[in-house]
Chain A
Amino acid sequence: MEMIVCAKQVPDPEAPPATFKVDPSTNKVVPPPGVPPVISTFDEIAVEAALRVKDGKGGKITVLSLGNNLVRDVVKKPLAMGADQLVLLEDQAYEDGDSWSTAYALAMAVKKIGQFDIIFCGRQAADWDAGQVGIGIAEILGIPVVTLVKKVDVADGKLTVERMVADGHEIVEVPTPCVLTITNEFGEPRYAPLKGIMKAAKIQPTVWKPADIEVDASQIGAQGRRAKLGKLFQPVKVGKCEIIEGEDVAEAAANLAVKLREAKVI
């Protein structure tokens, strides 16, 4: 199996909410000082999904990351987990894109890679939460895509996958080549073993500039946006919590029940 995983570097979503800041003059998030970026959670699970196919059937995993000033230790994590090679679409021209321009550049990079059976993406990225890029890549390449996948079985060149829905899951059969977007119900991504980290340190990522993937420069990054960002802001929260006290926790809890009754909540 030839596999491609799209993995995005994002500000750490687990950083304390109090450190989250938006610069209204640029409409951009200010990275919290001292908190390094990470691979978006769902993309790490997408790496895990590819690794499990490789564990069972063998194959090669190429990781694609798009951005600018990518932190090598961060984008190499999938390699440390067990992926085979890393291609970076790294250039200022790729920055500040939307789902459309990002999917377009990634699809063009996939075309340059050529041979593949499955492209794995996370269900959505931890920064913009749009959940569109995997679908967009498939639509641009004209191949099928199944979203919100929580299980993948490979047999006879055909995939049988489980897709999450509100009240359970659907079983879907999909031919290769195809795109799968992976959801957290798939399971936890594996830790990168020390041996993997050492191996990853020796792998030199391939960097592709826009000219390398033959993209139309007006269609990538900020220039290629189809959705215009008018305003980015933090919703104002009014802390109004009434803390119910008591001699001990049990008494406070009983007082809480009484309070809810008085306030006609129950």
Chain B
Amino acid sequence: MADSKGVLVFADIVEGKLAGITTELLGCGRQLADGLGEDLSVALLGSGVKGLAEEAIAWGADKAYVVDDPLLQDYQAEAYLAAAQKVTEEISPKVILYGQTPVGRDLAPRLAFRLGTAVSTDCVELAIDPDTKLLLQTRSVYGGNARAVFTSDRMPQIVTVRSKSMSPLPKDDSRKGEVIEVAAGLDPSMIKAKFVQKVKEEVVGVKLEDAPVVIGGGRGMGAPEGFQQLEALARLFKGAVGSTRPAVDNGWIPSTTQVGLTGKIVTPDLYIAVALSGSSQHMAGCSGSKTIVAINKDPEANIFREADYGIVGDWKQALPAFTQKLKELLA
């Protein structure tokens, strides 16, 4: 791909809508494309997704490539990979951006291996090297203990981007762009891993990723009952409860609440970390919070190196008093 040109964003589409990460990818992709002086394209893969093209353009794309096919109704990797390969070969981009989402983290490495190129997953910073014009791909490694900057001179340079690590541009509905429909020639026989059905875990109250306040509970909660107290505190704020991997692995709370490297990424205004040590794996999911408060009985716990405010003490004594005082203040 000697004549590679431009930046291509693969949109993340959830239940027929552009996911928030897609607007972040387009914001970041716009900057990279402008840095290279080249076009930003977006690929929309799915069934009944053509209508999203204008919106993707409004978020910063110059061109929208649409593969609209009933075989892309649900995520079936082989069909998605064939469509992604088709669009990539059509455009020959220098840079491809995916979200680090259930689809992106699955599909981007497949595409890279298929094309014989490299991919950096879960990037938190991206820039164009002024000398080589290559993409500098910064990702967190060793469970968040270190960061690594990668480059690859094989085209396309593929990355997946951590959610909420990039900012969208203001939406501009007057932006004009080109919409190109691509026939990917998909065939049911190419699908080996077949989607059967999706089982949704119902969320009561506010969605964790969108909550303005998140109360995170860790190993020190000791039992499922403790999380009910966190729920009560979360309701005061119209917030949501998060958790660490040890809490989930102990079966105290559903895995859909897990915050961290292998869970959800949250960036609330306020994150209250209760009885959790603040391992780098957990902080990878919440360090972007505006204010972090720690309640932990171990003064040496790493969470006190991450928090803005903290109290040293047993959560069982702290939480009722904290909740009571808040009720008074918020009344």
Contacts and interface: CB of A to CB of B under 8 A. Distances in A.
Interface in B272-331: 279-281, 291, 293-295, 302, 304-314, 317-322, 324-326, 329-330
Contact count band on A: 35 or more
Chain B binding surface SS class: mixed
Contacts of B143: 13, 126, 129
Interface in A171-224: 171-175, 178, 183-185, 188
Contact of A243 (B137, B291, B311, B317): B311
Interface stretch (B60-68, B192-200, B224-232): B192-200
Given A29-B142, A103-B113, A243-B310, A123 B262 contact: yes
A243 B240 CA distance: 24
A241 interface: yes
Nearest to A103: B113
B248 A185 contact: yes
Contacts of B113: 100, 103, 132, 135-136, 139-140
A166 B102 contact: yes
B312 A228 contact: no
Contacts of A240: 308
Given A132-B119, A248-B317, A266-B237, A243 B312 contact: yes
Nearest to B307: A241
B152 A228 contact: yes
Contacts of A259: 309
B110 interface: yes
Contacts of B280: 17
Interface in B61-93: 74-75, 77-78
Contacts of B256: 166-168
Contact of A239 (B114, B304, B311): B304
Contacts of A155: none
B199 A242 contact: no
A64 B198 CA distance: 33
A177 to B, nearest CB: 11
A118 B330 CA distance: 56
A230 interface: yes
B198 A253 contact: no
A228 B193 contact: no
B146 A257 contact: no
A227 B150 contact: yes
A188 B246 CA distance: 10
Contact of B141 (A127, A139, A250): A127
Contacts of B151: 227-228, 230
8 contacts: A11-B142, A129-B141, A171-B197, A184-B262, A228-B151, A233-B148, A235-B146, A266-B330
Interface of B: 74-75, 77-78, 101-102, 105-106, 109-110, 112-114, 116-122, 136-137, 139-143, 145-154, 192-201, 203, 209, 237, 245, 248-249, 255-256, 261-262, 264, 269-270, 279-281, 291, 293-295, 302, 304-314, 317-322, 324-326, 329-330
Interface of A: 11, 13, 17, 20, 22, 29, 98-100, 103, 123-124, 126-132, 135-136, 139-140, 144-148, 150, 160, 162-175, 178, 183-185, 188, 226-235, 237, 239-244, 246, 248-254, 256-261, 263, 265-266
